[in-house]
Structure 1
């Protein structure tokens, strides 16, 4: 069975990505955890985070600047994959585009369709390695999805962040409805083990793992 070069777990804050990434990494030594994009391109991320990070993200940065920063980190992350292993990504390319598009909506007042056209236009000139992408959704209803993850935060989101998060949930559902992900997992009212079993199956790793940590 041929395994993909990259697999990614995607979804909004507090959906369980980190938990499932850790469990996946413990199942099979052929997976190479590569983390998030900022870990592979730290200098520009440290620079923008050195001041008012939220203001830079939602006010002063341009959509081109933010999107290209995300894509540059994604490209560098891909080069870090060890030969013969499958790169395990915390948010793959579709999710990075979703983040950029949702930011574009709240910052520039565009519709979701207009924001995606802008973001995909910026990304169109880049050649990206194929990935098997799984989207974890707290619910298939955008408002319900946001309510679930915001409750898990443990403290209220403030400023522009609630609007951004609500928009992100709508953007992710838009992507899901347009086939942007290899698979979509509805996590609502399901156990962690049931969700993880779905993730394993959708990533095509069920024949390569024995279900026990290595």
Structure 2
């Protein structure tokens, strides 16, 4: 993996451990700035659509163009919050946001994964995006196993359209991984958070000022 850019994103489906790993990275080096998720930097539009039936808006009434633009606009505000000279840590970077839009597009518009990714990529356009090193955390490289692992961690059954969306999202992420969309892919199956943390550090550690890193041991 080449040198870490101005932003480092951890990506993956729900319950794979993104938030846990981001918090651990934040504590390792004061050059990291935890920027979190897009809705934290652009709360008004997300609160507006959530005020009624959020799931209906997301999966039925919004268009793919509207959702893609909203995700992009919120992402732009998030990256703008990075302080000069620091590496921003992102909970779901731009490739993952496009995966989310594509998975939703499959559900709403009946497209294939390949067609949906092409659609949202075209909608995203060629606007300049800041340099981002994106790492994908996969529960498993097997689609059914990947979904089973993360759904079991939810603690309660997913209902409505959400199971179909989650399965589709796993399929989109695996498709992206196969295309080399992410700078690195970490297979998390049968591995502890400590093991995953160690691999993430191995992937990025050579490209950070080692003297500034704190002890990364658990």
TM-score by length of 2: 0.94
CA gap of 1:167–1:2, structure 2 versus 1, over 3 A, is: closer
Unmatched 5+ residue regions in structure 2?
none
State the partner residue of 2:214: 210
Task: Measure how far apart 1:3 and its partner are.
Answer: 4.7
State the partner residue of 1:82: 83
CA deviations 1:74-95 (Å, max 9, x no partner) are: 1111110000100000000000
Task: Measure how far apart 1:194 and its partner are.
Answer: 1.1
Task: Measure how far apart 1:210 and its partner are.
Answer: 3.5
Q: Using the alignment, how far apart are the partners of 1:125 and 1:48 within structure 2?
A: 27
Unmatched 5+ residue regions in structure 1?
none
State the partner residue of 1:34: 35
CA deviations 1:129-160 (Å, max 9, x no partner) are: 11011000000001100000000000000000
Task: Measure how far apart 1:203 and its partner are.
Answer: 2.6
Matches within 5 A, 1:1-214: 3-204=4-205, 205=208, 207=210, 208-212=212-216
Task: Measure how far apart 1:125 and its partner are.
Answer: 2.9
Q: Using the alignment, how far apart are the partners of 1:178 and 1:75 within structure 2?
A: 25
TM-score by length of 1: 0.96
CA gap of 1:206–1:181, structure 2 versus 1, over 3 A, is: farther
Which moves more between the two structures, 38-47 or 54-63?
Answer: 38-47
CA deviations 1:95-134 (Å, max 9, x no partner) are: 0000000000011100011101110001123210110110
Q: What secondary structure does 2:214 align onto?
A: coil
Task: Work out whether residues 7 and 203 of structure 1, in 8 Å CA contact, stay in contact via their aligned partners in 2.
Answer: no
Which moves more between the two structures, 118-127 or 83-92?
Answer: 118-127
RMSD: 1.5
Task: Work out whether residues 4 and 132 of structure 2, in 8 Å CA contact, stay in contact via their aligned partners in 1.
Answer: no
Task: Work out whether residues 133 and 203 of structure 1, in 8 Å CA contact, stay in contact via their aligned partners in 2.
Answer: no
